[in-house]
Amino acid sequence: MRKTALIASSFLATLANAVQILPIKDHGSSEVLVSSTEHTRISVENDRIAQLFGIDGRLSFELDEMNGQVFITPAPGTESYYLLITLTTEKGLTHDLRIKPTRKPAEAILLRAKTQEFQERITPSESYQGLLLELIRAYTTQTFKEPYKVVAIKKGSPEKIAPDLILHGIKEIHSPQFIGKVCHVKNEGETTLLLSPHQFAKFKPLAIVFSRRVLKPLAQTEVLLILARSGL
Better-scored residue on pLDDT, 173 or 59: 173
pLDDT at 205 over 90: no
Cα–Cα nearest to 59, from 51, 49, 48, 71? 71
- Rounded distance between C-alpha atoms, residue 197 and residue 218, angstroms: 20
Q: What is the mean pLDDT of residues 206-220?
A: 87
Q: DSSP per residue over 60-105, as a string?
A: EEEEETTTTEEEEEEPTT-TT--EEEEEEETTS-EEEEEEEEESS-
Give all domains of the chain, ordered by start, each with its CATH number.
19-122 (2.60.40), 126-231 (no CATH)
Helix (H, G, I), strand (E, B) or coil at 158: coil
pTM (2 decimals)? 0.50
Q: DSSP per residue over 25-57, as a string?
A: -TTEEEEEEEESSS-EEEEETTS-EEEEE---T
Predicted pLDDT at 199: 87
Query: Tell me: the pLDDT tens digits for 89-118?
Result: 888 888 999 888 988 888 888 898 875 443
β partners of residue 64: 69
Q: What is the mean pLDDT of residues 175-196?
A: 91
Predicted pLDDT at 230: 66
Q: DSSP per residue over 99-139, as a string?
A: EEEESS---EEEEEEGGGHHHHHHS-HHHHHHHHHHHHHHH
- Rounded distance between C-alpha atoms, residue 13 and residue 95, angstroms: 30
- Rounded distance between C-alpha atoms, residue 85 and residue 14, angstroms: 28
**C-beta of residue 152 within 8 angstroms of C-beta of residue 190:** no
Q: What is the mean pLDDT of residues 48-72?
A: 84
Cα–Cα nearest to 188, from 150, 209, 159, 146? 159
